Amino acid sequence: VILRAAESILDQEIRAAGLYREIWQSLAVLLPIRTVGVMGDQRTYEHVIALRAVTSLDGMTADWAKIPNDVLGKISNRIINEVKGVNRVVYDISSKPPATIEWE
């Protein structure tokens, strides 16, 4: 449920920003760790979502998508505020190679 909701927000905001045709692939990853955060006046211990978006011609090599900071901020804020159990969002800026497009 958490991952589906985060990926849905990522897709919605990429489309709303007019970036859909520029991005070859995008995905969200639910990391197997929790982080301390603050929501309201209370400490939270919640999940981390990593976002990944790349540009590529053939998938053999890929560069991380330069999504504008305001769009990344909107995606992050929406995920944190709308997806219960998430208090941190990070953006993967690794190219392929050395990284792969998808996480495993």
- CATH code, 86: 3.30.300.10
Identify whether 40 is part of a domain.
Answer: yes
Kindly state whether residue 98 falls inside one of the protein's structural domains.
no
Q: What is the pLDDT along the chain (104 residues), one digit of tens a residue?
A: 999 999 999 999 999 999 999 999 999 999 999 999 998 899 999 999 999 999 999 999 999 999 999 999 999 999 999 999 999 999 999 999 999 999 98
At residue 56, the pLDDT reads 98
Q: What is the value of pTM for the model shown? A: 0.94
pLDDT at 35: 97
Domain assignment present for 100: no
Total domains in the chain come to 1
96 lies in some domain: no
Domain containing 12 equals 2-91
Asked whether residue 36 is domain-assigned, the answer is yes
**99 is a domain residue:** no
User: What φ, ψ does residue 39 adopt, rounded to 5°?
Assistant: -130, 120
